[in-house]
Structure 1
Amino acid sequence: MKKAALFDMDGTLVDNTPAHIRAFEIFCDRYGVRNWKERLSQGFGMGNDDIMRLILPEEVIASRGLQALADEKEAIYREIYAPEIRPVAGLRDLLLRLRALGIRCAVGSSGCRANVDFVLERCGIAGFFDARISGDAVTRCKPDPEIYLKAAEALDVTPGECIVFEDAKAGIEAARRAGAGRIVALATTLPRETLLAEADADRIVDDFTQVTDADLA
């Protein structure tokens, strides 16, 4: 059995991509930004600074600054998502299985700490996680492996002793570059066909109800 399980957050713990897109729509409309959706699709799994640089004109970034813009967008996201937030199917049961097996858990997310805390607390799963590594705690976000390297270190295990649950290509690349022992991809944000063709995961599932004991070995 693996010694630790590392979970991405957006699109993994919660299927929140539609909420993020709605938040970006409100946010971009405020600044008169058009044609942002295609650029955003290239940024799934990345940190806020990288996403803002993808979708916003330089003059908007210069006028407000990356941190203020990111904080504004994430406040919109939390406000609109709070009434409907729920964990991905099977997550709580999987967390209980992992606890029974003595497998420790950490979150490794490119999202900001405020969003990580928001998801864990609102979903009632905070007590299952021994560490929370967010995008504002690292110098380089996914696809760089730093987040998963720090998450493994926080649990005092090697990356090879970890199973990583991810949904985005950037995150799967980060886990692979970190040396994760096994990578399970969730077909939430991206279709299964895209993950099969473009992502280097060991297994693809629709949700956590499909995770088997063999996946944890």
Structure 2
Amino acid sequence: MKKAALFDMDGTLVDNTLAHVRAFEVFCARYGVEGWQQRLSQAYGMGNDDIMRLILPEELIHQKGVKALGNEKEAIYREIYAPEIHPVEGLRQLLERLNGAGIHCAVGSSGCRANVDFVLEKCRIGQWFEARISGDAVTHCKPDPEIYLKAAAAVGCDPADCVVFEDAKAGIESARRAGAGRIVALATTLPREVLERETSADLVIDTFADLTDLDALLA
């Protein structure tokens, strides 16, 4: 039986991809950056520094600094998303059931700590998470396994005893490389057929409401 549940954040706890896209639209318009949409589509699940380097011209990064630019974009995102934020369907109920079963829960996100705290606070789900591992707390972001290795360690569990919830290819690869016992993919950011065909996820769901058998999930 699994002892812990590790959750990605963006596209997993919240279906927020469009909010990030809208934030990038405002941010890139501010600096006159063009052609960012296609590059952003390749960046789902990556850490913020890596996304900034993928999307922005080198001269802008040299002038402003990647950290400052990332913080600026994320502040735009939080302002845009705050009025409409809500957890993915069935998440609160699943967290309550996991807590009742004595399952440890942690967040393992490539996002910055400010965004993790923002999501957990605004969705009123922070009380269920024993640990919060964010992209600014690791040396290497997804698809490197470091985030999920640290998340499992933070709740005192071996990765093989963890079920990981993810939505992105980079995150699923990260969980697999960490040795996760089971990986559940949410079809929020990517279509179900892509997740089934192009990732190693053990199960694909549309929302957490699909998880009706907790014993089967944790077996």
The normalised TM-score by structure 2 is 0.98
2:82 aligns with: 82
Q: For 1:161, give the aligned amino acid.
A: D
1:158 aligns with: 158
Q: For 1:216, give the aligned amino acid.
A: L
- Superposed displacement of residue 204, structure 1: 0.1
For 2:151 and 2:68, the matched residues in 1 are separated by 27
- Superposed displacement of residue 185, structure 1: 0.1
Question: Does 1:32 find its partner at 2:32?
Answer: yes
Question: Does 1:98 find its partner at 2:98?
Answer: yes
Q: For 2:134, give the aligned amino acid.
A: S
For 1:208 and 1:216, the matched residues in 2 are separated by 14
Could you say what secondary structure the match of 1:190 adopts? coil
1:21 aligns with: 21
CA displacement, residues 35-62 of structure 1 (integer Å, 9 cap, x when unaligned): 1111101110000010011111101111
Q: CA RMSD in A?
A: 0.6
Question: Does 1:176 find its partner at 2:138?
Answer: no
- Superposed displacement of residue 216, structure 1: 1.9
For 1:119 and 1:128, the matched residues in 2 are separated by 13
Question: Does 1:8 find its partner at 2:8?
Answer: yes
CA displacement, residues 141-184 of structure 1 (integer Å, 9 cap, x when unaligned): 00000000000000010000000000000000000000000000
Unaligned runs of 5+ in 1: none
Unaligned runs of 5+ in 2: none
For 1:6 and 1:33, the matched residues in 2 are separated by 35
For 1:182 and 1:29, the matched residues in 2 are separated by 41
2:208 aligns with: 208
- Superposed displacement of residue 196, structure 1: 1.3
For 2:75 and 2:86, the matched residues in 1 are separated by 18
Moved over 3 A (4+): none
For 2:65 and 2:218, the matched residues in 1 are separated by 42
Equivalent residues in 2 for 1:123-162 (5 A)?
123-162=123-162
- Superposed displacement of residue 84, structure 1: 0.2
Greater shift, 140-149 or 190-199, is seen at 190-199
For 1:197 and 1:29, the matched residues in 2 are separated by 35
Could you say what secondary structure the match of 2:6 adopts? strand
The normalised TM-score by structure 1 is 0.99
- Superposed displacement of residue 215, structure 1: 1.7
Give aligned-pair identity as a percent: 74
For 2:196 and 2:163, the matched residues in 1 are separated by 18
CA displacement, residues 1-57 of structure 1 (integer Å, 9 cap, x when unaligned): 210000000000000000000000000011111111111011100000100111111
